[in-house]
Amino acid sequence: MVGGRSDDGKKMAAPKLSRKKLVELLRSEFPEASHALGRYRIEKVWHGGCRVRLPFHERTLRPGGTIAGPVMMGLADFTMYVAVLSAIGWVPLAVTTNLAINFLKKPAPRDLIAEARLLKLGKRLAVGEVAIRSDGQSDLLAHVTATYSIPAGS
């Protein structure tokens, strides 16, 4: 694994971009897009990984009271993006080439917590996984793997 996990007690390497710097850059460079910070809260960043919170909002519900799938897909994609930048620095044009999500459990009406870690960091591709949970709960709601393509010369 490239990245440490936030919860395993291992010492984690410093990210190439601090949490503060990342937040500044995302705010100034992505004013409108889904990769904008929007409602996402970057809670922690380390080399090859990060944790992002999405506060609960009723608008994200679908019938049956569950949080809509695309909300989790967007959160996973953003969290993976931050994990990639934490390892390669500010390369905003890195783009997702592939994302696969398994929905495992109906989410509770609570904040979502996504944690990403890179499984591979190559020159051209970065591959990682993202675990999504309800705040304060250990069961997985969704598991995601994603690949980002890193522009040549980055």
HSE, CB side, 13 Å, CA atoms: give it for residue 57. Answer: 10
Query: Which of residues 101, 112, 116, 132 is near a copy of itself by CB under 8 A?
Result: 101
Query: Which of residues 10, 55, 62, 154 is near a copy of itself by CB under 8 A?
Result: 62
Stretch that binds a copy of itself, among 10-18, 39-47, 107-115, 143-151 (CB under 8 A): 143-151
115 binds a copy of itself (CB under 8 A): no
Stretch that binds a copy of itself, among 10-18, 45-53, 109-117, 119-127 (CB under 8 A): 119-127
Return the exposure string of 20-59: e unless at least 16 CB atoms fall within 10 Å of the residue's CB, then b: eebbeebeeebeeeebebeebebeebbbbbbbbbbebeee
4 binds a copy of itself (CB under 8 A): no
In the complex, the smallest distance separating the C-beta of residue 67 from a copy of itself, rounded to whole angstroms, is 9
Contact set with a copy of itself (CB under 8 A):
1, 29-30, 32-35, 58-64, 66, 68-71, 73-74, 77-78, 92-93, 95-106, 119-120, 124-125, 127, 129, 138-140, 143, 145, 147, 149
